[in-house]
Chain A
Amino acid sequence: MNGAAFIVISLVTLGAALAAAVLPNLMHAAFCLVLALLGLASFFFLLGAEFVGLALVFIYIGAVAVLIVFTILLTRRDSKEHLGLNWSGVLIACAVFGGLTWAILKTQSLSIIPPQARTLTVKRIGETLMTGYVWPLQCVGLLLTAALIGALVLVMEERR
């Protein structure tokens, strides 16, 4: 694991996420979200979880980000928001970050370096999903089907 790569990726990810949170234009914010998710996927590659990184790129960027862009275009009338950043929200976010950082820095057992490079092949992931995690897998399949049908029902035109 490389320190320079870590610094570059974390700067890009956090900067893009912050831009997605505060930019006034919705379209720019959506593209910054895509950049932040790409940075997160490169974190996963850095940590050696290639399959999860690829799944993140496919699902978040290929599906969720495209869905967000579609929704922005469908509700285009007021996509330029009057930027009134709510200062209590900023305050709460800063407090949460401060509290979490304090707790992380205070815990001594967290300052460890990673063990030897570990490989988790896709074959192994597939075997685990099909043996130990088969019921959660079925439940997620059912959940995705229900979400698909529910989303369709929600946006269907009402008959009068």
Chain B
Amino acid sequence: MTPTLQLFLIVSAALFSIGLLAALSRRHAIFILIGIEIMLAAANLNFIAFWRFAPPPHPSTGVMIALFSIAISAAEAAVGLAMVIAVYRHYRTTNVDQYNQLKG
């Protein structure tokens, strides 16, 4: 049995929903970042699956976009984790429910 494109897309949708679950239901800032990373990874899986299943002629666009998306998510993780550390230094907690003012 060869997996069809539909199966890959369903796995990707499940991965995206799990990331959404982590981002929406956890109260810890690092968990929210982990959820966002999982969602971005699910999008990458979609790009690669569509690239692999495309009819000829084969452009390499899907692979290129996945590479750029990986680079951008690395930048996002670096800035996000730096923000978690900066806010932790101020509030002494990582629970996002207690971040309730913008005053520095």
Contacts and interface: CB of A to CB of B under 8 A. Distances in A.
Q: Do A and B bind each other?
A: yes
A114 B15 contact: no
A154 B104 CA distance: 13
A68 B74 contact: no
A-side interface mostly: helix
A119 B5 CA distance: 18
Interface string B74-104: 1111110111111010001111000000000
Nearest to A105: B6
B34 A33 contact: yes
Q: In the complex, which of the residues B52, B53, B55 has the most CB atoms of chain A within 10 Å of its own CB atom?
A: B52
B52 A59 contact: no
B79 A154 contact: yes
Nearest to A72: B30
Nearest to A92: B24
A144 B79 CA distance: 10
Contacts of A111: 4-6
Q: In the complex, which of the residues A20, A74, A144 has the most CB atoms of chain B within 10 Å of its own CB atom?
A: A20
A148 B79 CA distance: 8
Interface of B: 1-11, 13-22, 24-28, 30-31, 33-35, 37-38, 41, 44-45, 48-49, 51-56, 58, 60, 63-64, 66-68, 70-79, 81-86, 88, 92-95
Interface of A: 1, 3, 6, 10, 13-14, 17-18, 20-22, 26, 29-30, 33, 36-37, 40, 43-44, 47-49, 51-52, 55-56, 59-60, 63-64, 67-68, 70-72, 74-75, 77-79, 81, 84-90, 92-94, 96-97, 100-101, 104-105, 110-115, 118, 120, 124-125, 128-129, 133, 136, 140, 143-144, 146-148, 150-152, 154-155
